[in-house]
Amino acid sequence: MTESDDCPFCQVASPVLEQGSAYAIYDRFPVTPGHMLIITRRHVSSWFDTTFEERQALLELADEAKDRLVEQYRPGGFNLGVNVGEVAGQTIGHVHLHLIPRYPGDVANPRGGVRGVIPERQHY
């Protein structure tokens, strides 16, 4: 594993789930109950710099994490998302996939889902 001493994702000691070149933890600042992060073991900042194997591990682990969240939290749906670059909202320079459980009534009108990153364009 390539590490960065100042990266919080390179210092995780006890992942919730792990598989090959990826692991999962609960988000320290969850959007909803059960919000998880699926993270590459290798310190790489962008989804577009990951290898095919890393992407495969991230997506397979997302499936495993989803099953765990369905069992534990019973959400009605999910959002998946990756922020790439500061202007897209990335605050930690280590690629991670957000798996956000969604619940009936957690927002007034969920139509448009991830389009909500630009609120005035969410509803169409």
List the catalytic residue out of 35, 94, 96, 98. 96
96 catalytic per annotation? yes
Among candidates 89, 72, 90, which has minimal Cα distance to 16?
A: 72
How far apart, in whole angstroms, are the C-alpha atoms of residue 27 and residue 23?
12
How far apart, in whole angstroms, are the C-alpha atoms of residue 16 and residue 7?
18
Beta strand pairing call for 77-81 and 22-26: unpaired
Catalytic machinery residues: 96
